[in-house]
Structure 1
Amino acid sequence: MLIDGLQCGHFDRDAFEALRRGNVGAVTITAGFWEDVTESLDSIGRWRDLCTANADIAEIARTAADIRRIAGEGKLAIIIGFQNTELFGNRIRLVELFAELGVRSVQLTYNNQNCYAGSCYEAEDSGLSRFGRELITEMNRAGILVDLSHVGNGSTLDAVRFSKKPVAVTHANADSLFPHKRNKTDDVLHALRDNGGIIGCATYRNITGDHYCATIENWCTMVMRTVEIAGIDHVGVGTDRSHNFTKPDYDWMRMGRWTRGVDYGAASAAKPGKAAPPDWFPRVEDIGKIEGGLAAVGFTPEEVAKITHGNWLRVYEAVFAS
């Protein structure tokens, strides 16, 4: 099976069915970007309702054992994740409460610096703050994976070295392969390896580039080069695929409530709208091409299994509360 370390958007039954056709056994969804405490609770409630209404095909997973069981039953395991820490409302005790509600992955910052750390888009990276260290300690204790995808490289290094449990860059690529503020430098990937963590290689064109989006072989070659940097045990898949997104969704994702102006996120004024999916990945179910693509560029069956699901399961087993 395939585990996707991060997707976002408005999921529905059609999305669930397409993912299953692509042999996806588990996916971390994005339950929020800028949502506050109450809005985050609403989002979790909607996800519970959605999974209840589609219980024959999808189920929320809280542990690695849940993922194995749900996927083994031919269903899609849903891992609840957030791409920002707004859900905690700057209250350390809410970490445990949200963990009890099933939240299993939270990104330390989104596109702006916050009280925990610096974002990849700030001119200067502030590093991990005192509160950030407290938050990581609490997330480690509560069984929530620390996601560092949009975090500045300096803050990411601080967080990787401070965390007592493996951390993740759920959806990004190596900056040495495609330079972008959202991607991670080799020293970060080396630290991630030393921490026992994982990077989920993305397919989002703005941070992957036209060359690696052109064919499945090109993208899998990028994965192979990432393995050369981080090691075979520390690379997975994190497509950053979105479902049913429209302009208001992109505006919220990029600008939230924090600006009256325009922010393009990983896009640009020249390419302000939705990025085209990779040429090899026009339909959601085309994610199923990844396993064969990895084999075609030279990965052994054992290595393919690690990249497609084994490495994620190892991290989840080490982090999620049992």
Structure 2
Amino acid sequence: MLIDALQCGHFTREVFEDLRANGYTCVTPTLGFWEGTLESMDSLGRWRDFERECSDLIVIARKSADIRRADEEGKLAVVLGYQNSNLFEDRLAYIELFADMGVRVVQLTYNNQNELGGSCYEAQDSGLARFGREVVREMNRAGIVIDCSHVGDRTTLDAIEWSEKPVAITHANARAIFDHKRNKSDDVLRALVQNGGVIGCVAYRNITPQDACTTVDAWCQMVARTVELTSIDSVGIGTDYSHNTGQPDLDWMRKGRWTRSVQYGAGSAANPGKTPKPDWLKSAGELNKVHDGLRRVGFNAEEVHKLTAGNWLRLYQAVFG
């Protein structure tokens, strides 16, 4: 089995065929970054159309059993997610409504502070706001995974403390391995382990060591180091792989509608544009190399299963059944 907890971009039938042909069990696409309620519902409508048009290939997963069933039927399970909480538009009741529509993962903040808490790029992270606490508990109740990938450290720690269910960091690396604001501190990783949460190791160049972008074995060594910092039960895959994207997509991710100024996201003035794919992951299907790579760096078969699928399945079961 192979689960990637975060991809983005423009999905097509060809993308689904590539993922399933190369052994993917489940993927979480990004349905939105800055969009409000109506636009977010539009994206849900498009994915329901996808499910009808590609019913021989994909299934929208609402329960963890749907993931296992899709795998048995030779289909790709899709867990629908958003990289920001704008879809709720300050309305607590909308959380349950979006859960009823099939949303299973929502990131508390993206690259800016919002009414829930702080992002990883704020000079000062305010921590989880009172409304953020309400949202965390309501997401617990509704069965939506709390994602803290782009969330500031203090807000992440608060969310982990406040949550009654395991919390996810779907796409980030350990800051001790690669020092970047988008990556996670030792304190966060320790808290995540205690919470029963999972971090999905990234293959995005801007926040990943250069050698881990060069060969699959080096990337698997990075995974092994992450396990040393956390536990074998706390690490999965969240590549942050993007499909069919161009500069307009990058501009939207980085700037949304909130600024006219230059924004680099995880990049920099020295590296302002679209980041090349890792040498070993030019197409998303090549992720299937990690099974053998993880064995070569010392993991046994049971541990490989946990890292490639089992830990995410456990978290999904705990959060949305």
Shorter-chain TM-score above 0.5: yes
- Counterpart CA distance in 2 for 1:10 and 1:209 is 26
Output aligned runs, 1:108-257, within 5 Å: 108-257=108-257
SS at match of 1:200: strand
**Contact 1:95–1:142 (CA under 8 A) maintained in structure 2:** yes
Gaps of 5+ in 2: none
**Is the 8 Å Cα contact of residues 115 and 129 (structure 1) preserved in structure 2?**
yes
Tell me what 2:79 maps to: 79
Q: In 2, are the aligned partners of 1:174 and 1:186 still within 8 Å (CA)?
A: yes
Structure 1 residue ranges without an equivalent (≥5)? none
What do the CA deviations read for 1:222-281 (whole angstroms, capped 9, x no partner)? 000000111000100000000000111110010000001111100111111111111111
Q: Is residue 53 from structure 1 mapped to residue 57 from structure 2 by the alignment?
A: no
Which residue in the other structure is 1:277 paired with?
277
Q: CA deviation at 1:17?
A: 1.0
Q: Tell me the C-alpha RMSD between the 2 structures.
A: 0.7
User: Alpha-carbon deviation of 1:284?
Assistant: 1.7
For the 8 Å contact 2:220–2:294, the answer to whether it is kept is yes
4+ aligned runs moved over 4 Å, structure 1 = none
Alpha-carbon distance in structure 2 between the residues aligned to 1:295 and 1:63: 30
Give the equivalent residue in structure 2 for 1:263.
Answer: 263
TM-score, structure 2 length as denominator?
A: 0.99
Contact 2:177 2:209 in 1 (8 A): no
CA drift of 1:209 comes to: 2.5
> What residue in structure 2 maps to residue 70 of structure 1?
70
Q: Is the 8 A contact 2:207 2:266 kept in 1?
A: yes
Query: Displacement of 1:214 after TM fit?
Result: 1.1
Matches of 1:17 and 1:296 in 2, distance apart?
Answer: 28
Letter in 2 for 1:220: C
1:59 Cα deviation after fit: 1.1
CA distance in 2, matches of 1:284, 1:133: 36
How far apart are residue 194 of structure 1 and its match?
0.2
| Distance apart, 1:130 and its partner CA | 0.4
- Distance in 2 between residues matched to 1:275 and 1:255, nearest whole Å: 17
Deviation at 1:72, TM superposition (A): 1.3
Does the aligned pair in 2 maintain the 1:21–1:288 contact within 8 Å?
A: no
Q: CA deviation at 1:18?
A: 1.1
- Secondary structure at the aligned position of 1:233 is classed as coil
SS at match of 1:6: strand
**Counterpart-to-counterpart distance in 2, 1:152 and 1:206:** 18
Could you tell me whether the CA contact under 8 Å between 2:61 and 2:77 is conserved in 1? yes
Q: 1:165-214: CA deviations, max 9, x gaps?
A: 00100000000000000000111011000000000000001011312111
Tell me the distance in 1 between the aligned counterparts of 2:225 and 2:202.
14
AA aligned opposite 1:82: Y
For residues 42-68 of structure 1, the C-alpha deviation after alignment (integer angstroms, 9 at most, x for no partner) is 000001101210000011000100000
Give secondary structure in 1 for the equivalent of 2:79.
strand
CA distance in 2, matches of 1:284, 1:125: 34
Distance 2:140 2:102 in 1: 15
103-112 or 66-75: bigger deviation: 66-75
Q: Partners of 1:249 and 1:91 in 2: how far apart? A: 28
Return the alpha-carbon distance in structure 1 between the equivalents of residues 259 and 46 of structure 2.
Answer: 27
Which range moved further: 277-286 or 115-124? 277-286
Q: Which amino acid aligns with 2:189?
A: L
TM-score relative to the length of structure 1: 0.99
Distance 2:308 2:212 in 1: 18
